[in-house]
């Protein structure tokens, strides 16, 4: 067991997961956070957005209920014509759930013997963290290792400034107490697509402003095409190749001006323009920590920065902005520093999900990499429309795609587009992580009828004699 002093700056998944590992390995651990344990992941980003999406999912399932023979009646027995969301209640639930989750995590840390300090931390050399407390008091903590896990914040532009009322970052949407009559979402990356899809399912007219040819430019093109088709079919106005120049507000009207001179008007606008790392004025460069372009902290695969004893994890490194990756980088940092067995971060094993309707889950090598010749792989794509469970549930959109190495048949990646694809991708993740072959994946029993039957079926189609 160690008696090393570890100071962690930032209490998101990168920070708090590292704290658990360091405490378990016997270190004396202090975690410093400005906004609350759980970080943006729990308080403003991941947890709140997925809680909102849970309500949106119920709404879209209800909409599809008639096809399955369920009708809604009002109290006089007449057919009900619409269902409506109570956004104030939804938002209150979102905020309460996030606050409870944050309190749970803090309690677990305290139980593990971690000291939790509220305040702003910065480096005064690689072995010293200065903490500016909320009351203005300053403390200096000596450390044998420091982990920087300060996360990132929504990017805004001088010409598109959020006002917190009608022009909103994703952190501000849960303060809405009225339902937008016309919502514009600027940005069609993962965050923009998730909010656009969620509010559409909540019954709100949505325009999605996308500077690229299609939504989700970073994802599997066939998956993105399915999603765009579903969104437009459900009534979303998707403006492709439309670059936002400015967002302004005049009373109740928000105007998004595009670079081609066109204008779109709505009642509210959500800006989803990406993130900037929280690395300014932290004393990083002065302490020998090299920052990359855009201010991200340079790290290697065991989370080391260029300064001895200083590690970094999560969004502030810009490696792959996911809570799961932040958490793993944080754990790896502590395993490495405290001398435990450690496997360097392998991004080819990360599974991720876009929580739209349908969801898009991916793991391992992508179609883009195969097309670009970065890896040789055989590909099979199986539409879900032939799956018996999908038919029973009225699901028509989506597919399962698997990539395996020619010759060995080892599964190297996959894509699932389906309701709850986030749950369906797991067998593919296990196959990728454990280098299973398509035959091994195919030979495991699946429940009949089940959506996961399509994963086994796709694997069977990759069998070569
Ligand atoms: C809308 C949205 C939805 C998302 N959904 C998902 C999802 O479903 N799944 C997923 O895996 N990822 C999701 N992500 C990404 C995920 O939220 C981030 O990758 C994750 O929060 C990164 O964790 P982190 O520990 O690096 O930083 P954060 O969670 O940002 O935590 C950093 C903490 O450090 C604090 N801090 C900053 N500076 C200082 C300082 N100087 N001193 C002390 N404390 C400081 C901050 O206040 C914050 O509390 C989503 C992101 C967004 C924007």
pLDDT digits (tens, 9 = 90+) for 410-419: 999 999 999 9
Q: Is 415 in the pocket of ligand 1 (CB under 6 A)?
A: no
Residues in contact with 318: Cβ distance below 8 Å, sequence separation at least 6, in sequence order: 152, 277, 292, 294, 296, 297
Percent of the chain with pLDDT over 90: 94
Task: Outline where DSSP puts E strands in 134-266.
Answer: 138-142, 145-148, 152-154, 167-169, 183-186, 206-209, 237-239, 244-250, 253-258, 263-266
CA–CA dist 130, 133 (Å, integer): 9
Q: What pLDDT sits at residue 129?
A: 98
pLDDT in tens, 335-344: 999 999 999 9
Ligand 1 atom closest to 153 (CA): 30
Residue 76 banded pLDDT, cuts 50, 70, 90: confident
Block residue for tokens 């990168």: 14
Residue 178 banded pLDDT, cuts 50, 70, 90: confident
**Mean pLDDT of the 83-105 span:** 96
Our mutation pick for probing the ligand 1 site, out of 40, 345, 351, 363, counting the most ligand atoms within 8 A of Cβ, is: 40
Q: Is 397 in the pocket of ligand 1 (CB under 6 A)?
A: no
Q: What pLDDT sits at residue 11?
A: 98
Q: What pLDDT sits at residue 191?
A: 98
- pLDDT at residue 155 above 70? yes
**Mean pLDDT of the 215-223 span:** 97
**Mean pLDDT of the 292-307 span:** 97
- pLDDT at residue 354 above 90? yes
Distance in Å, CA 326 to ligand 1 centroid = 8
Distance in Å, CA 344 to ligand 1 centroid = 22
Residue 266 banded pLDDT, cuts 50, 70, 90: very high
Q: What pLDDT sits at residue 195?
A: 98
**Mean pLDDT of the 364-374 span:** 97
- pLDDT at residue 137 above 80? yes
Q: What pLDDT sits at residue 1?
A: 54
- On average, the pLDDT of the chain sits at 96
Distance in Å, CA 43 to ligand 1 centroid = 9
Nearest alpha carbon, ligand 1 atom 50: 46
pTM for the whole thing? 0.97
Q: Is 14 in the pocket of ligand 1 (CB under 6 A)?
A: yes
Ligand 1 atom closest to 50 (CA): 8
Collapsing DSSP to helix, strand or coil, 320 comes out as: coil
- pLDDT at residue 264 above 80? yes
**Mean pLDDT of the 160-175 span:** 98
Q: Which carries the bigger pLDDT value, residue 465 or residue 169? A: 169
CA–CA dist 367, 350 (Å, integer): 15
Both tokens assigned to 103: 């309190």
pLDDT in tens, 10-48: 999 999 999 999 999 999 999 999 999 999 999 999 999
Q: Is 41 in the pocket of ligand 1 (CB under 6 A)?
A: yes
Q: What pLDDT sits at residue 2?
A: 57
Q: What pLDDT sits at residue 148?
A: 98
Helix-helix angle 221-233:190-201, to 10 degrees: 30
- pLDDT at residue 308 above 90? yes
Residue 77 banded pLDDT, cuts 50, 70, 90: confident
- pLDDT at residue 345 above 90? yes
Residue 222 banded pLDDT, cuts 50, 70, 90: very high
Ligand 1 atom closest to 119 (CA): 43
Rg (CA), the chain: 24
Ligand 1 atom closest to 152 (CA): 30
């Amino acid at each position: 067991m160690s008696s090393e002093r570890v100071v962690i700056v930032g209490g998101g998944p990168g920070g708090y997961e590292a704290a658990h590992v360091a405490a378990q390995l016997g270190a004396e651990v202090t975690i410093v956070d400005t906004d609350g344990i759980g970080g943006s992941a729990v308080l403003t980003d991941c947890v709140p957005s997925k809680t909102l999406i849970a309500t949106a999912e119920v709404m879209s399932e209800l909409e599809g209920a008639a096809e399955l023979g369920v009708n809604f009646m009002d109290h006089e027995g007449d057919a009900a014509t619409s269902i409506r969301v109570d956004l104030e209640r939804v938002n209150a639930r979102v905020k309460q759930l996030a606050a409870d989750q944050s309190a749970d995590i803090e309690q677990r840390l305290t139980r593990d013997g971690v000291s939790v300090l509220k305040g702003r931390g910065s480096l005064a050399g690689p072995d010293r963290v200065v903490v500016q407390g909320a009351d203005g008091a300053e403390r200096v903590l000596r450390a044998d290792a420091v982990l920087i896990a300060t996360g990132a914040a929504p990017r805004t532009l001088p010409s598109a400034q959020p006002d917190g009322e009608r022009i909103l970052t994703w952190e501000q949407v849960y303060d809405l107490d009225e339902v937008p009559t016309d919502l514009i979402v600027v940005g069609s990356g993962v965050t923009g697509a998730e909010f656009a899809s969620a509010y559409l399912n909540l019954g709100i007219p949505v325009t999605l402003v996308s500077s690229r040819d299609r939504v989700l430019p970073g994802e599997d093109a066939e998956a993105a095409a399915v999603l765009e088709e579903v969104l437009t079919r459900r009534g979303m106005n998707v403006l492709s190749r439309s670059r936002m120049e400015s967002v302004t507000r005049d009373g109740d009207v928000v105007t998004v001006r595009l670079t081609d001179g066109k204008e779109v008007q709505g009642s509210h606008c959500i800006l989803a323009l990406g993130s900037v790392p929280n690395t300014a004025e932290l004393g990083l460069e002065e302490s020998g920590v090299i920052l990359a372009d855009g201010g991200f902290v340079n790290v290697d695969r065991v989370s080391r920065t260029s300064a001895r004893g200083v590690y970094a994890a999560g969004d502030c490194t810009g490696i792959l902005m996911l809570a799961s990756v932040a958490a793993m980088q944080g754990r790896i940092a502590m395993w490495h520093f405290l001398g435990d067995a450690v496997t360097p971060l392998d991004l080819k094993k990360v599974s991720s999900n876009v929580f739209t309707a349908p969801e898009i889950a991916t793991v391992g090598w992508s179609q883009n990499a195969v097309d670009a010749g970065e890896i040789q792989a055989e590909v099979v794509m199986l539409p879900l429309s032939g799956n018996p469970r999908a038919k029973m549930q009225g699901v028509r959109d989506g597919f399962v795609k698997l990539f395996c190495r020619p010759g060995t048949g080892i599964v190297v990646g996959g894509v699932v587009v389906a309701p709850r694809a986030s749950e369906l991708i797991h067998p593919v993740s296990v196959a990728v992580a454990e280098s299973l072959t398509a035959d091994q994946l195919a030979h495991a029993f699946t429940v009949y009828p089940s959506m996961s039957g399509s994963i086994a079926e796709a694997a069977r189609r990759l069998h070569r004699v």
